[in-house]
Amino acid sequence: MNERKGVRKIVVPGELIKEVGKPGNGVFVENGKMYSAYLGIVETRAGYVNVIPLSGCYIPKKGDKVIGKIIDIAPMNWVVDINAPYYAPLHVNDVPWHVDFGYTARYLSIGDVVLAKVSNVNELGQVWITLKEPGLRKLEGGHIIKISPFKVPRVIGKGGSMIQMLKEYTGCRIYVGQNGMIWISGSPEGMITVIKAIRMIENEAHTYGLTDRIKAFLEEERGEENGN
């Protein structure tokens, strides 16, 4: 990113895309011409032209790690809100505990937050999630914030650079779900800094040179803390 400042090219729904390549995600073809389906930014990758939406809801994909909130309890399963158009059931067979019929509320109750994996999605949009894998668990304490799922890659950064930087500067533990839910735990000052930084990333996700600006911001925040 050699000092390219400014903003990426934004397209609106129905706008003609002049980039050449095969139609990828977020575009549609009419009479041999490519048009954008979203309000988003154009990106060419591996010969495909994609439009990455600037906003929108999360579409679950198999294998995604997501953060969800329990919103309902049934005898054999929990219902989890994963910020997608559809709620996801979490079956008792998909949790690492042995749960007797009707005792689901002992393990997870309404309002609890879990780090889960999408185990299956079908064409009807039905989603199944699981907790039966190392690293997946109930998240206790901490703070949850929501961002647009399309901005998750920017929060993580290239090879995890951005998230690593946030963790180093603030000493917080952070989990980023692919669905745009972020769980933060740490000192109150650290959490406030992380939230501010993430909001900054969210607002400026479509600009160049973001990592440097976030770094400057974090330096400044840390400076203030030391000054006090």
Partner 1 sequence: MGIKADIKLIDDNGLRIDGRLPNQLRPIRMEVGVLERADGSAFIEWGGNKIVAAVYGPREAYPKHVQEAEKAIVRARYSMAPFSVDERKRPGPDRRAIELSKVISEALESVIFVEKYPRTSIDVYIEVLQADAGTRVAGITAASLALADAGIPMRDLIVGCAAGKIDGVVVLDLNKEEDNYGEADVPMAILPRTKEIALLQMDGDMTYEELKTAMDMAMEAAQKIYQMQVEALKKKYLEVE
Decide: is 57 part of the binding site for partner 1 (CB under 8 A). yes
Helix (H, G, I), strand (E, B) or coil at 151: helix
- Least distance between partner 1 and beta carbon 109 (Å): 22
Instruction: For the CB of residue 3, give the shortest distance to partner 1 in the complex, in Å.
Output: 16
Asked whether the beta carbons of 174 and 190 are under 8 A apart, the reply is no
Whole-number Å distance between alpha carbons of 200 and 220: 14
Looking at beta carbons only, is 20 or 124 nearer to partner 1? 124
The DSSP code sequence of 154-205 is: HHH-GGGHHHHHHHHHH--EEEE-TTSEEEEES-HHHHHHHHHHHHHHHHTT
Least CB distance to partner 1 at residue 185 (A): 25
Which 179-218 positions form the footprint of partner 1 (CB under 8 A)? 203-204, 206-207
Considering only residues 75, 96, 102, 125, which one is a binding residue for partner 1 as defined by CB under 8 A? 125
CB atoms within 10 A of CB 111: 8
Residue of 19, 39, 89, 165 that binds partner 1 (CB under 8 A): 39
Task: Give the position of tokens 């909130």.
Answer: 69
How many residues form the binding site for partner 1 (CB under 8 A)? 31
**Of the two residues 69 and 167, which places its CB atom closer to partner 1 in the complex?**
69
Alpha helical stretches, state H, the chain: 152-156, 161-170, 188-203, 210-227
Residues that bind partner 1 in the complex, under the rule CB under 8 A = 7, 10, 12-15, 26, 28, 30, 35, 37-40, 53-57, 85-87, 123-125, 148, 150, 203-204, 206-207
